[in-house]
Amino acid sequence: MKKEEVNFGKSDQFNLTMIPGKFAKAMRTNIIWQFIRFIVINIKMLIVVSKSH
Amino acid sequence: MARLVVLGGGVSGHTAATFAAKWLGSAHEVVVVTPNSKWNWIPSNIWVGVGEMSKEDVTFDLAPVYAKAGINYKQAKAVSINPEGSGTNDKPFVTIEYTLEGREGDSEVVEYDYLINATGPKLNFGATPGLGEGSNLGEHTVSVCTADHAIHANEEFQKTIETMKNGERQKFLIGTGHGMCTCQGAAFEYIFNIEHELTRAGVRDMADIKWISNESFLGDFGMGGLHMKVGGYAVSSKLFAESLFAERNVDWIIGAHVNKVESGKVHYELLDGSFGEEEFDFSMLIPPFAGVGLKAYSKDGSDITDTIFAPNGFLKVDANYAAGAYENWKASDWPETYQNPTYDNIFACGIAFAPPHPISKPMSSPNGTPITPTPPRTGMPSGIIGKAVAHSICDRITKGENAPLHKASMADMGAACVASAGKGLFDGTAAAMTVYPVVPDYEKYPGTGRDTDYTFGEIGLAGHWIKHILHHLFIWKAKLKFGWTKIPE
Ligand SMILES: Cc1cc2nc3c(=O)[nH]c(=O)nc-3n(C[C@H](O)[C@H](O)[C@H](O)COP(=O)(O)OP(=O)(O)OC[C@H]3O[C@@H](n4cnc5c(N)ncnc54)[C@H](O)[C@@H]3O)c2cc1C
């Protein structure tokens, strides 16, 4: 069984949702991808801040 | 010379007072009345609560900062407001009681021309039997609402790690301690920090972690949930939250009003009217919030507390308190100027203003128990509102009594929330969420009520780095260090 599938069996509530697989999880800590996301999130947050003032 | 008195030196009051002092200069006086000697960056208490930061990392002394800003700082708590003065004093004033060491209990009258109530919440532990007495935390659970609470939480947390290392399983129960709580985001962040730390300590498989909250669905966050763009879909925060809980093996009980806490056990009622119990070895439950209980008196000494404060103790402002049923709620119900409708020189900011109604759809159990999150007023809105109110008052002082007031409606304002899960720079991750606007506006954004280009959430290191940066940035700003005015709220 794939790692991400283990928790589906642990509770009925878990069974009805989505659980990230190996690739999605690896991207969360991939430094290059996260650096790009860092820039994107910062820009979006700055836009939200400027729209709020 | 005009005098502005700010009650409360927290996130909102500190922002208001420091900007007002800068804009007014020495021609006018700014007074801050606040019972604490230290300023606390409350969001980082989460890291104190798992032993990743110390109290010193998240607090600093207020006195030198206020001395530098030219603010008259009184370490005291406000007790009452006399907006019309009294029989012997024509000027409006507040009565304060010192908490400063050596002057505890001394009473003083502080006159004002303008008043800002930024007293934040009373942590109303006493609302749930067993959760605490009045605003004091009880003995069965822990809290991360203050830095001292968080230190205590970590002490108890470390004990559970030791117990698990000795081979005994432990049950963790984190969430909200009453059906009318807000601040689910803080509990959400804490539960995933706990999960992360247990994994790091090598005892995750010995721990059963459960969430309990008054939200009608996971991911409501007191904002009726939100929709965000993920992987090309517009999805509800329910899916986002449930996925995270399932991934981390954290079970949940939702729609719960915790009605009693005992040693090692909570009793709760659910939205379907059923009752249940849940055992725990370690539990952090956020208390419901109320106003801090300021009284108000008219010139002849009669009690007018009900005139200027809502029944929950928060200050009435320019909100529509008569919106009625959920179907009638509009974005325009939310206040814009935060001016008290009866006394136009009194304003509120941050948690201290009375919201017109919740944001989440109101729910109650068939037994009539309301189980609905109250609206969050997080750090960013609290800061923005504090600055807008300070701006309005400074304009009135310097340009005249009819200067237009500045507006900062939560229906026109976003909030950024970064919920970390662990602190390490390369092993921590965070759920970074931005919502715009905080209060949904279905006229402007039919469908989700929000702008899905700017309402988003994702999990990863990037959010985690942002959380670290925000910690240092906001403490830098609050200390009024170089360039502080350029750092947005
Ligand atoms: C654990 C935790 C984590 C959080 N994390 C986040 C986050 O990640 N992001 C976010 O945006 N928000 C977060 N928040 C919410 C954020 O902390 C609040 O929105 C913010 O502190 C509200 O600011 P405030 O000035 O209204 O209240 P406070 O910051 O609580 O300040 C109120 C001040 O008034 C003082 N006071 C009380 N009574 C009196 C009195 N009688 N007279 C005078 N002064 C008085 C208090 O001592 C205090 O200094 C979190 C909250 C908690 C509890």
pLDDT at B419: 79
- Section B396-423 average pLDDT: 90
Tokens of B348: 């509120």
Q: Could you give the CA distance from residue B454 to residue B180 in angstroms, rounded to a whole number?
A: 28
Scanning every residue of chain A, which has its alpha carbon at the shortest distance from the alpha carbon of B413?
A52
State whether the beta carbon of B43 lies less than 6 angstroms from ligand 1. Answer: yes
Lowest mean pLDDT among B276-280, B359-363, B398-402, B412-416: B412-416
- Please tell me the predicted confidence (pLDDT) of residue B438: 96
Q: Which residue of A has its CA nearest to B246?
A: A14
**CA gyration radius for chain B?**
22
Q: What is the pTM of this model?
A: 0.96
Nearest CA to ligand 1 atom 31: B10
More confident residue, B456 or B68: B68
- Mean pLDDT, residues B405-424: 86
In this predicted structure, the answer to whether residue B332 has a pLDDT above a threshold of 70 is yes
Q: Which of B292, B340, B293 is nearest to B112 (CA)?
A: B340
Taking the C-alpha atoms of residue B195 and residue B156, their distance in angstroms, rounded to an integer, is 15
Judged by CB atoms closer than 8 Å, whether chains meet at B466 and A20 is answered as: no
CA distance A1 to chain B (A): 15
What does the alpha-carbon distance between residue A30 and residue A36 come to, in Å, rounded to a whole number? 10
Give me the amino acid identity at B145.
C
What's the confidence (pLDDT) of residue B423? 66
ipTM of the complex: 0.94
Q: What is the CATH number of the domain that holds B25?
A: 3.50.50.100
Percent of chain B's residues with pLDDT above 70: 99
Q: How confident is the model at residue B103 (pLDDT cuts 50, 70, 90)?
A: very high
| Nearest C-alpha neighbor of B384 from the set B116, B7, B11, B71 | B11
Q: How many domains does chain B have?
A: 1
Whether B422 has a pLDDT exceeding 80, the answer reads no
Per-residue pLDDT tens for B166-205?
A: 999 999 999 999 999 999 999 999 999 999 999 999 999 9
- So where are chain A's domains? 20-53
Q: Does B462 touch chain A (CB under 8 A)?
A: yes
Q: Which atom of ligand 1 is nearest to the CA of B467?
A: 8
Residue B467 lies in a domain: no
Within a domain: residue B13? yes
Q: Provide the pLDDT confidence category of residue B118 given band limits of 50, 70 and 90.
A: very high
Instruction: Determine the average pLDDT of the residues in B379-387.
Output: 95
CB of B352 within 8 A of CB of B78? no
Distance from CA of A8 to the nearest CA of B (A): 7
**At B426, is the pLDDT very low, low, confident or very high (cuts 50, 70, 90)?**
confident
In-domain check, residue B130: no
Query: pLDDT tens digits for B16-36?
Result: 999 999 999 999 999 999 999
Domain of B40 in residue numbering reads as 3-123+290-411
Residues from chain A contacting residue B387 (CB–CB below 8 Å): 53
Tokens 């409360």 sit on residue: B8
Residue A53 pLDDT greater than 80, yes or no: no
Contact indicator for B134, B126 with CB cutoff of 8 Å:
yes
Nearest CA to ligand 1 atom 23: B11
Within a domain: B438: no
* Cα–Cα distance measured from residue B195 to residue B203, given in angstroms and rounded to the nearest whole number: 10
Instruction: Give chain A positions within 8 Å (CB) of B432.
Output: 41
First-residue to last-residue Cα distance in chain A: 50
- Bond into B129 cis (ω within 30): no
Whole-Å CA distances, B342 to B153, B373, B477 = 42, 28, 34
Question: Which tokens is B48 given?
Answer: 């104190």
Q: Rounded mean pLDDT of A1-6? A: 84
Q: Which of 349-388 (B) contact A at CB < 8 A? A: 380, 384, 387
Q: How do residues A17-38 score in pLDDT, each as one tens digit?
A: 999 999 999 999 999 999 999 9
Of all residues in chain A, the one with the smallest CA distance to B250 is A14
Residues B101-111 have a mean pLDDT of 97
Alpha helices in B118-173 (DSSP H): 147-165
